[in-house]
Chain A
Amino acid sequence: MATSTSDSQKTPLYETHLKYRAKIVPFGGWAMPVSYGSVLNEHHAVRKDCGLFDVSHMGELLVSGPKSLEFLQQHTINDLTKLSIGAGQYSAILNETGGMIDDVIVYRVASEDYFICVNASNIDKDFHWLNTKSKPWSQRHQVQVENQSDSWGQLAIQGPKANLALEPLFGAEKLEDFQYMQIREVLFRGQRCLLARTGYTGEVGFELYAPPGVLPQLWEELMGTSNLSGIKPIGLGARDTLRLEACYLLYGNDMNEEVSPLEAGIGWACKLGKGVFVGSEALVAQKAAGLKRQIFAFKMVDEGIPRHDMLAYSKDAAQGTTPKALGMVTSGSVLPTVGGAGGMALLDPRHIKVGDQFYVDIRGKLKTALVVPRPLYKAKVK
């Protein structure tokens, strides 16, 4: 059961996690806390009070220069022309065939500066892709792409009492009128940090980018607000069950370079009307032809816990005939707040819709599941 984390990168909080009795596991090349005791208790703590997550493994890129807007319009799916300074948007970087290189949040932090939060496992890939694509734009510094991942640690403070954890550190006035998806500068011990009203749990919350050196102090001061906020350290285990209930995608599980944003159910972030961008022609063609697979949310009807990569079959086959393949589970788990078990699956929308039942092959046994509307848990982020 023990898996070595000796070759893994460590975040600035590795020693802190040990002190808080975390169980450490390898995750995407990093030694990360999966839990500090109980995944379920951590999950409920975030829904009820407040949780503190070390997400320093996430990457940060900065795209800047006079042509940064035009460049990113061509290399991300959402429409950046609508973004004011201090605002962010969910988006994705596609390849030419419309597959997702990564899903990202792009923040406009200054007139020509875009700060992009990328997935840990994709940092090098994303940087290389954007940096290479920016070469024709780099004359006279019209576009520069910088990998700042080593310069930033990141904490997530999530839950209905998140404000109470942050106010003692930054002052209540810094948090006033802070809208969902906005980002602002804050100071911690004289160091510049970026605080965003974002998250990956379905609760109100913040993601705080800070220089690695101040992270242990920052962690302890946030934990020091526990009398007010009820804040508790939360590992990646609960991060996964929380995001799954909210039906937020996990790169590498729910989508990858073979899956388009339309299939992944984030068509709402995909602004095909804004003009041509990398991957847009493939998406237009895919839309015209009709989707052959799409992300659905589901709940188990039978006993059993669905997991990533389990196969899904149609339930309408006659007795004794082989059930028809429908697709696969991309994420599955117990659903601590929703109740029962369930997840998300990439299924063929020509053969299934919300309200239909299907089978999940759980270790050789066909167990019944029900397609339900997304999300499984309605996010309370705004």
Chain B
Amino acid sequence: MGGFGFYGQGLPGIATEELKGKLIVIEGTDGVGRSTHINLLKLWLENNGHAVLDTGMTRSVLAGEGLKAAKEGHTLGRMTMTLFYATDLADRLENEIIPALRAGFVVLTDRYIFSLMARSIVRGADAEWIRGVYEFALKPDIVIYLRVSIEDLITRVIQHVGFNYWESGMDLHLGEDMYDSFIEYQNRILAEFDRMAGLYGFHVIEATGAIDQVFEKLKATVEPLLKLPHLKTRSV
């Protein structure tokens, strides 16, 4: 496997050949268990001698707080939200992800451009336009998509976090209440993910089973990636 590349023109002034680490993306819809698996993965990787950075949406120093504040109100337009998230990601790439990759870290990111594109497309953004915007993004080493059926998703969401305004697509007025809206919205998101799975070569893991079973599959997917010479020598 070669070094890093961008989806398009990339970020000005970044030399990708200096990047030595691994960028692992965990994608999947809300409630699928991404954060649980990222925590497990981080622990396992660190136990095996890899330095790990974990990051996720709205965690940028520049735009994270502003974006969260904007989402509290009701005036955040669809295009504005899309670009606010893009700013957040660009800031994290330049100030967090790329420096960590340069230092040889394994970077685990909770969602990446795919969730952001799916949300925007479902909200009426032009697919080609949004793909063009994210041409600044670094191509990850692997994208792991934790897939779940809508039926399983509902059970999990009710048991754990409950329905959330944005994750139910309430701004789209798709149903009478949060439940109806959630189903319609998540169905559309899942359809968009399935479309992207082929397009971007996702490694799909069925996330319906017990946590430890899913995690075994996750480890088996990640392991070959780290058996590269330069990381092997780093392992203690």
Are chains A and B native binding partners rather than an unrelated pairing? no
B-binding residues in A (CB < 8 A): none
